[in-house]
Chains A and B, each alone.
Chain A
Amino acid sequence: MDSTAERCIDIIAKSKSLPVEDISLHKTFDELKIDSLDKINISFLVEEEFNIEIPDEALGTIRTVGDMVDGVDKLRDAKLPEAKPTA
């Protein structure tokens, strides 16, 4: 199973018609020429891919690809059932 990062990068690559190699975690959305409409589109595809909902306020704080990957991981973790303590 590909990692969260690999899956996010794949979505961005397909959405922007960019080679996967051009997209790294430290790249900013500005550097990748992801404008506001691109961002909305990519966020929707990421929500679909991971079955999460990205809050509006979180969208505003995403600057880099890494920010997005971290955010996705947090939202996925928040959905996991809590581990029961052992006796």
Chain B
Amino acid sequence: MNRVVVTGLGCITPIGSSVDAFRESLFSGTTGIAPFATLPGAPESIPANLGLRFTHMAQVPDFDPKQLLESSVIAATDRTAQFGILAARQAAQQSAFSPHHAPDQTAVILGCSTGGRTTDETSVANLYTRDARVHPLSVVRTMSNGGAALISIEHHISGPVLTLSTACSSATHAIGLAFHMVRSGMVTAAIAGGHEAPLTFGFLRAWDSMRVVSPRGCRPFSADRDGMTLGEGAAMLTLETLDSALSRKAPIFAEIVGFGMTADAHHITQPAAEGAAAAMRKALQDGSVSPENVGYINAHGTGTQANDSTEAAAIHQVFGERAAHIPVSSTKSLHGHSIGATGALEALATILALHHGHLPATAGVTRSEVDPTLNLDVITGAPRDTIAEVALSNSLAFGGLNAVLAFRRYR
């Protein structure tokens, strides 16, 4: 089995459209959660406040594809794929991995849960209300695999190219699958991550109906937490074998050592602690990592009462008495919950935490506000310096689909 390392990073997020900017925001606790600006592509007829109970989202600011992408790429894509393509370009450029791996031994494995929503909603709204023409490239703009396909075309990758859809766990599942593929030797390198641009009128109204969105911004693990915050963005990693990275003196940001995936088999929206605990255990077993070595958990931490309580219970099931002493934070307090892309943004945050030796804090929550019944060591205020060797990143999706990655600091 190969050891698998991360040699390139890229992102387009509400807290930075470069990894440097993302890292700055991560460690300074600068959140991208704000009262929402207008929705890209929104029709003029919808009310200015969108008729929602919540006012805050995490949007990628000032994104102008015309400044960043070729016209033919823009013609064939929705905002979601545009995020993915740009993040993948950053990662590929940083790692310069491509010439060193056979095209058919390279994979693109991405998470994307909602596909090209802006295109879908505006096309269908215009069609239903005024029998408007549908753009001939609507099919390729809306299909969830559009991003992965265009990335494979741009980087001449002819191995396995997939897009996974498992709601909030999509990108974690994607990175985990890519990790297993490189580890087993099925491929020697991969671009892995996620992209999502779901912030459309219909999507927001649908989430509003579920009454799980915080009116003014998520406050994970706080006693009076009142829901999640929706977001958008993309993050991409390049994965390759350690041997390949060393032989060409590539930058190495972290090693991926384990991946665990389970299903709760319980409820379509309510999580079960046992399922999440099992996924964490599997990630540790997969990496032959002792629970004693885990020095940080990047939680799923959406900020709903249900998730945070259940996730805390799961952490206690896995780590026993140590659970109250393992630093935990939710970076969703900074970048929001971008559904299919979130796992990739959190993988990036976790990798940067290990690489730089700082653990990001849960923004917007003070120490005294942390829910004591959870009995967790939630990082608040300033980031913490760390010598943690291993970190877990949890994703616990609707439908009870759990995915956990285990990263090890690389020295």
Contact = CB atoms under 8 A, between A and B. Distances in A.
Decide whether A and B assemble into one complex: yes
Interface string B67-79: 0000111011000
Interface string A10-42: 000001110000000000000000011110110
B72 A37 contact: yes
A33 to B, nearest CB: 8
Interface string A32-74: 0001111011011001100000000000000000000000000
Nearest to A35: B72
Contacts of B249: none
A38 B133 contact: no
B66 A44 contact: no
A17 B66 contact: yes
Nearest to A51: B133
A36 B73 CA distance: 11
B72 A38 contact: yes
A16 B71 contact: yes
Given A17-B66, A17-B71, A48 B133 contact: yes
Contact of A37 (B66, B133, B137): B137
Interface residues of A, number: 13
A47 B137 contact: no
Contacts of A35: 72
B47 interface: no
Contacts of A36: 72
Interface in B257-280: none
B66 A38 contact: no
Interface residues of B, number: 10
B82 to A, nearest CB: 14
Nearest to B67: A17
A66 B133 CA distance: 25
A27 B72 CA distance: 19
A48 B72 CA distance: 19
Contacts of A37: 72-73, 75-76, 137
A48 B137 CA distance: 15
Given A17-B66, A47-B133, A48-B133, A40 B75 contact: yes
Nearest to A53: B133
B135 interface: yes
Contact of B136 (A17, A38, A40): A40
Contact of B71 (A38, A44, A48): A38
B75 A41 contact: yes
A12 to B, nearest CB: 10
B150 to A, nearest CB: 11
Interface in B52-87: 66, 71-73, 75-76
Nearest to B135: A44
A71 to B, nearest CB: 17
Interface of A: 15-17, 35-38, 40-41, 43-44, 47-48
13 contacts: A15-B71, A16-B71, A17-B71, A35-B72, A37-B72, A37-B75, A38-B75, A40-B136, A41-B75, A41-B137, A43-B136, A47-B133, A48-B133
Given A35-B72, A44-B137, 11 more contacts: A15-B75, A37-B72, A37-B75, A37-B137, A38-B71, A38-B72, A38-B75, A40-B136, A44-B133, A47-B133, A48-B133
